[in-house]
Amino acid sequence: MIAIGCDHAGYKLKEFLINALSEKGYEFKDMGCNGERCDYPNIAESVCKEIKSGNCDKGILICGTGIGMSIAANKIKGIRASLCSDSYSTKYTRLHNDANVMCMGARVIASGLAEELAEIFLTTNFEGGRHQQRIDLITNLENN
């Protein structure tokens, strides 16, 4: 299950991704918004809580640039959110950083690219190994 959320700038892209990826078998928990003006930190918190609770495996957050969502999500302990706007970075944020939330900017990337990036994010597994040590170091930073 994937938690997905957006602010008003990301609403159309969120709806597009839910429809396009649901056809491919992905299941979503929609954490809002529904097009109304909203504050992105609240949506980021809702999506991240679903991941932390174990209700969802990964999250997708969308705002105008993706930057605000990534900043807000990364304030939540246990969340590793990454701004994704190209396929290489999206692949490696999963392979090396074990990111559990991807953030995208609806004013920055087109819907076709967003769908491609979401599929890369959702299908790429963490490599572990030497990268786990770095994730552990990040967790230590978070805890201190």
96 is catalytic: yes
Distance of CA 29 to the CA centre of its chain: 13
Between CA 51 and CA 58 the distance in angstroms is 6
**Biggest CA pair distance of the chain:** 44
Q: Which two tokens stand for residue 135?
A: 């994730």
User: Which residue, 111, 117, 65, is CA-closest to 93?
Assistant: 117
The one catalytic residue in 63, 84, 103, 131 is: 63
Q: Does the annotation count 63 as an active-site position?
A: yes
Active-site amino acid positions: 63, 96
